[in-house]
Amino acid sequence: MNNSFNACEVKLTYSNKVKAADRVKIRMSKDTYDFLQKVYDPNTMDHHESFKVLLLNRAGEVLGVHSISEGGITGTIVDIRLIMQSAILANASAIILSHNHPSGNLCSSIEDNDMTLRIKKACEVMGISLLDHLILTTAGYYSYADEGMI
């Protein structure tokens, strides 16, 4: 009888190359927007939709940014499992969601609202705080937290 089996090795890594003293601190939605303007490619903001998540520690300092998906003109696929995986891997206590609207429309859609609610529920199960969800355009931003939507 052969008791051996084949299985893939799972290897997850998180590399912290930023000193604690050099981390950006997020206090309000404007801080998030200012930080994300350096993260999103201005040449693609009006071209296609991208979804990114900011990973934060308990002090509100950015541990990292993870690009979840790149999509088309009218949307992008967001896998909640990837968001939670990145938060857990970074030992994040909180996250901030973000995506851009190539149309320039700063209003949240029904799909945006539904997705945010599903992610919020996943965060609650995992003990991770969902602090905000920003919709970005080249003209400005919409904050779910500022609008009382989170």
Q: Stretch 31-39: mean pLDDT, rounded? A: 97
Domain positions in the chain: 24-143
Residue 98 and residue 54 in contact, taking contact as beta carbons nearer than 8 Å:
yes
Backbone phi and psi for residue 103, each to the nearest 5 degrees, phi listed first: -70, -20
Give the CA distances from residue 53 to residues 11, 36, 133, 135, in Å, rounded to whole numbers and listed in that order.
21, 10, 9, 12
The CATH number of domain 24-143, selected from 3.20.20.70, 3.40.30.10, 3.20.20.330, 3.40.140.10: 3.40.140.10
| pLDDT level of residue 84 (50, 70, 90 thresholds) | very high
Q: What is the mean pLDDT of the chain?
A: 93
Q: Stretch 139-150: mean pLDDT, rounded? A: 96
pLDDT at 106: 96
- Cα(117)–Cα(89) distance, integer angstroms: 22
> Is the confidence at residue 21, as pLDDT, over 90?
no
> Is the confidence at residue 83, as pLDDT, over 60?
yes
- Cα(38)–Cα(136) distance, integer angstroms: 12
